[in-house]
Chains A and B, each alone.
Chain A
């Protein structure tokens, strides 16, 4: 392996040498002279300051001054590229003799001349024939966020961004054009400055460093990323210096975060819970013994609920109200001269909405680049970050939030002497648990991550139309995690009173990812023919290592290191993957009207079976700019009109590193009273394991109207995922219940609409963007016709994927009411164990029995929204500006897990406040939603009662800004106010309709995650 790696490097070095020689040989220069002129807006004939003027193919350029004038060195035959935001870029030929020029620029909102970053290159927007969304950073607003994924929210059709929890620093869940895989991952590939860093962006990139983002959605745009293109690609470009300017930017943003009342799960208070326990004793005796209980039969602690004096709202106790948020960024950029550079420093600190949690990060980034001479240009980028997180395990019933909700409210947080009350509950059938407040204070849980990313390129221009670019990328990531649970805390399970054995977990990870790309590109305009070509080679390798230690039983809780532990165990490991690919792309356009593009990638991956390591990923697309045709009438309705279509094949390799191999696992025994090493097969080998492939067809329409004031992009897509990488069941007589195989087919097809509108009323500029996504998902095939994949469990909910249905539909009993009487139960199909007050279920298979297994379970909910909406409204008036951003998802279901845990009324947990309206007798049937406390059977199991419509609209962000009038000290200054996640409009009674507590395809389960704060910040940005 080492030898091979070296040989890739040798190749690279040889290549550079050859090219350097060549560059020297072709190096020569022409005579240039000074030319000057001014730039004027066509519309209102005003002089334009700040317009960028570049001698094409060189690094020479300038910017017009306050009077719209410029001067630059150029030779006859050179071409000046004149560009300015909001205007169409113009190219002006320099003629020998002419030294002054008046250049007229045409206004163009939604500029078609704009250049868009695409895979391994960039392309003029007008020439694009595939489905690409460019995130307009103006529409994002001043978002107080630690993670770049937040910037994608609500911004592009077909891109769904879910905020699963309010954990500081959390990366959001991004899905492009639906879930395409049942077995492998569905996350997009993130490419930062040309470097494919993986299917998770992680926490190291500073949102303030992001210049632009492009989302590649169809196969024509993603096939160039081959085996990682199936789930879409997100290209992120970080900031670099603007040509001709020197700036010092300072941005500060500070604020507070709170959990609004509507985002809290309401539980019974101490008195209500005591009353519930009292009632449940009474009801049981009344029903089973048909008599009135004597007062003494009720345990003393519940006998007089009204005398209950303690009522702890555990959830409230763990909240950190008015949690601070602060973010500072300083950027120094220099764009004067041939070599441009930028240095930025950022610091962000987000206290958690839960006490003793928080996230903090330092970022530095520096890049330098530009033209060395007319033939060589280079760039180098280095970014480092260090983050510290004080975390807590928060999601799910047995984690912090869950326990804060179900802990017995009749216990105080503190004892009378001010010490923590260290054991909550644990009497009369109520589960005992640790004091969550104490746990947050006394547990040490930290995660520190250091991330170093560096990449650079060298680009040679030769033979006028050719470019060769060689680049290397590397990420080194180290993390250190530590968890110490002191002996003072009760156990993590139920009824484990303190003191317990202290325990420590400490782990270090290191990931090194290195990639090298070689790109040869060609670009030529021959009259009406325009040709671009690209040839490339890419290799990437990742090595992951970890070292982990566990310690148990500590002499004290003060020394919290492994060396102090009386018992220690340790483990270490390593995992690697590699890929190698050859690729090519050709774009051809004729007369700016007929556009064609084709790409091909052949990629090999270490993750696949020896018989199937290599995959081929072709794609084709074509476009027709109808508006350019002479037969099209000149009408304000059509500024630009293009129809386009594409087809391509992409892959998915997100299956884990060694899945095709059968490995030996350890199964030790004891022989002769000592340990004897034993080895067993750990999985079923499949050397045929190959690529999961997606075939995607896309038809799109780009239509700009009224001088680009209104533009519409509409897409239809049909994405078929074939040969899914799926863990398929097989008869266990093989020794294993499952093996990974390429089977089945899933289809995602849908419509995307993006409508952009800009207008001006006097001094009020308004821009508005709405994007709509309609995705329909269907499993077309698994293995056999009636095959189904079940995920989840009997006591939560099942996510079932069946042929002919969308994947991961909720399955459970269909609840049709509550039994009121024994007679009613008698008349109903046999539901063993039901008593009056039990949920009444449908006997769906009609066998007369509602069996206590999956037989009568049917589809009870759909976790996929009918449509998803993003809406931005922004504008400015004089010095004021504003931006509003909404997201919405419509007509989909969430399974609310906490109801299954607490609304079975077994009283081992505190109960949702709504449980006070439960069924108590036929005369007092409650709200028809809560069951009797006389039995729990049939109330914990997956059923339709716990499925809720989660249709919602979030007002995600409001930003209001005021630009301070120009003054000599600070030429550009702006102050702003931002409200993040201020309002949620929904009928869903849980706290977060986007919650997705479970992984994999067990989607749409809300199991009480980290609460979502509402954040208000005030900030200022200064530019010197």
Chain B
């Protein structure tokens, strides 16, 4: 009997110690998603990875107005005594009260690098994927174009920035990167864009409309050169765009009409879709509509807007008599449901009927042909003064707006007129802050913004219901031309050096 017992003990021991299937039993992956290690292999996955980057740009653009229009003299806010939550974050941008702890600057910085990692990861995995060469080429072009676009934003907002073009393998690796000089950043941008110009097609098949094109890459390259004051480079790039079949629409309002998306004038639009709850919609009017409009601006019962990005008295006054663009771009007030007129202005470009509350169908124009024409005029003026070609481009825009052509200006006067024309033509399309930085010196900008600030303090566009401004509101100092590197990033990586002034 003892023998059997020994066998039993051995059997138990064997069963206890056998580990044949342990690893399998312990390998669990989330069944609802794919694991990145196994991704980026097939052509479909590569395309999905590129689409994912576009998807991030879609949500990124929902807040870009804060850093480009709101911060500038184009728009302000309808002060909300009750909602102080946005005080140190969003209002800090409007009143130039930002500091390294400002949440919305952190958001901008973080979300931009959050897109970059997907562009970089996909780029690094592309060569080993099974995608066709054509798709590899197109994808590389798209990702580099997008990467250049993001660095262009970063360098304009923050100055020297960290250039990262590959995914990091460990957290420790991320500490090894430091800020590169502005010049190097631009080299990176131009190199990416030159690649994109060569790799991207002039247009895509109907299923792929919305992807970036050669025209978009050239236009962006033109804008980068213009910013670098390389006017001949800008002219060369932008002249190529004029040969690609783009043209101005006859009616200014059609540019923004969701029923006429991706038209002849659009070079690069961020694509949104409404009328469903998939989550690829825009919602700009919900942010921009007056805060107490209660269904009078957005046609849903009781619906208020955010009261942000409110056109200033100044830009409203700038519209010339008879400018057809004014009614399309903004409204000076609305009639509430009780029939009373309320003089709170709002941006109207992205205000179109839609079926689901909070879900709009409006695309966001990043680059449109009018922008290209005005950039060309600007570059030509800088090189040769206001030539006939330059006037031609400018007056083409004015003509559509129902305005008389301008003529007979000197170079400096032409530059001023052009800047104003850009301000009106491209109003609220996220150009103003960069246009100011490009065309003004630091001291000009300080003078200009502070005088605007004084006027706005003295006579605010919208009522503050007796609440005075804070002492430091609307005081602009030269160092504020660049945003601070977010406090969290400075703390995490002590080798980073902050922008001066912060």
Q: Which residues of A contact B (CB under 8 A)?
A: 1, 3-5, 7-8, 11, 14-15, 18-19, 21-22, 25-26, 284-285, 288, 429, 431, 462-463, 468, 491, 494-501, 518, 520, 535, 537, 539, 541, 552, 567, 569, 573-580, 582, 604-607, 610, 613, 657-658, 661-682, 684-685, 728-737, 739, 741, 794-795, 832-833, 851-855, 904, 906, 908, 936-937, 940
Contacts and interface: CB of A to CB of B under 8 A. Distances in A.
22 contacts: A4-B25, A18-B12, A537-B16, A577-B28, A606-B26, A661-B36, A661-B37, A663-B36, A669-B55, A669-B271, A671-B211, A674-B207, A676-B54, A678-B53, A678-B55, A731-B175, A733-B177, A734-B164, A735-B120, A853-B101, A908-B82, A936-B84
B174 interface: yes
Contacts of B168: 733-734
B350 to A, nearest CB: 16
Interface in B163-207: 164, 167-168, 171, 173-175, 177, 205-207
Top 6 A-B residue pairs of the complex, sorted by shortest distance between their CB atoms: A735-B117, A667-B55, A678-B51, A853-B101, A678-B52, A606-B28
B82 A429 contact: yes
B296 to A, nearest CB: 13
B117 A663 contact: no
Contact of B261 (A288, A610, A673, A736): A673
Interface string B349-380: 00000001100000000000000000000000
Most chain A beta-carbon neighbours within 10 Å: one of B30, B59, B121, B167? B30
A673 B273 contact: yes
Given A578-B26, A604-B22, A668 B489 contact: no
Contacts of B34: 663-664, 679
Interface string B10-46: 0110011110111111111111111111010000010
A906 B273 CA distance: 39
Contact of B470 (A491, A662, A679, A937): A937
A673 B209 contact: yes
A535 B58 CA distance: 58
Nearest to A607: B28
* Chain A interface helix/strand/loop/mixed: mixed
Contacts of B304: 495-496
Interface string B463-487: 0011010111000000000000001
Most chain A C-beta atoms within 10 Å of own C-beta, residue among B81, B162, B205: B81
B24 A1 contact: yes
A15 B12 contact: yes
B55 A288 contact: no
A500 B278 CA distance: 21
Contacts of B100: 853
A741 B168 CA distance: 15
A113 to B, nearest CB: 32
A663 B110 contact: no
B232 interface: no
B86 to A, nearest CB: 11
B114 interface: yes
Contact of B280 (A520, A670, A739): A670
Nearest to B21: A4
Contacts of B384: none
A677 B46 CA distance: 11
A733 B113 contact: yes
Contacts of A674: 207
A1 B82 contact: no
B4 interface: yes
B141 interface: no
A542 to B, nearest CB: 10
Q: Which of B1, B114, B167, B171 has the most CB of A within 10 A?
A: B171
Contacts of A610: 27
A494 B291 CA distance: 12
Contacts of B28: 1, 576-578, 606-607, 657-658
B121 A668 contact: no
A661 B35 contact: yes
Contacts of A431: 82
Contact of A662 (B23, B36, B48, B162): B36
Contact of B15 (A14, A491, A498, A832): A14
Interface string B86-112: 011000000001011100000001100
B250 interface: no
B450 interface: no
A658 B11 contact: no
Which one of A25, A663, A739 has the greatest number of beta carbons of chain B within 10 Å? A663
Interface of B: 1, 4-5, 8, 11-12, 15-18, 20-37, 39, 45, 48-56, 58-59, 81-85, 87-88, 97, 99-101, 109-110, 113-114, 116-118, 120-121, 162, 164, 167-168, 171, 173-175, 177, 205-211, 261, 271-273, 277-280, 294, 301-302, 304, 356-357, 465-466, 468, 470-472, 487-489, 492-493
A731 B21 contact: no
Contacts of B278: 668, 675
A11 B15 contact: yes
A55 to B, nearest CB: 24
B36 A22 contact: no
A22 B3 CA distance: 10
A736 B113 CA distance: 8
Contact of A853 (B53, B83, B88, B164): B88
A663 B30 contact: yes
Given A537-B16, A734-B117, 15 more contacts: A4-B25, A18-B11, A496-B304, A499-B302, A606-B28, A661-B29, A668-B55, A671-B208, A672-B205, A673-B271, A678-B48, A678-B50, A730-B175, A732-B113, A737-B488
A613 B15 contact: no
A68 to B, nearest CB: 42
B94 to A, nearest CB: 15
B180 to A, nearest CB: 11
B85 A668 contact: no
Contacts of B99: 851-853
B112 to A, nearest CB: 9
Contact of A729 (B26, B58, B88, B488): B488
Given A429-B82, A575-B30, A852-B88, A735 B52 contact: no
Nearest to A851: B99
B118 A681 contact: yes
B51 to A, nearest CB: 3
B206 A672 contact: yes
A529 to B, nearest CB: 22
A854 B490 CA distance: 14
Contact of A463 (B5, B39, B206, B356): B5
A331 to B, nearest CB: 38
Contacts of B279: 668
B171 A429 contact: no
B272 A670 contact: yes
Contacts of A855: 101
Contacts of A739: 171
B171 A22 contact: no
A3 B110 contact: no
B432 to A, nearest CB: 26
Contacts of A288: 466, 468
B97 to A, nearest CB: 8
B471 A833 contact: yes
A658 B28 CA distance: 8
A466 B17 CA distance: 19
A900 to B, nearest CB: 11
A731 B36 contact: no
B280 A906 contact: no
B171 A734 contact: yes
A685 to B, nearest CB: 7
B492 A729 contact: yes
B49 A679 contact: yes
B12 A429 contact: no
Contacts of B110: 732, 737
A574 B32 contact: yes
| Residue in A431, A682, A729 with the greatest tally of chain B CB atoms within 10 Å | A729
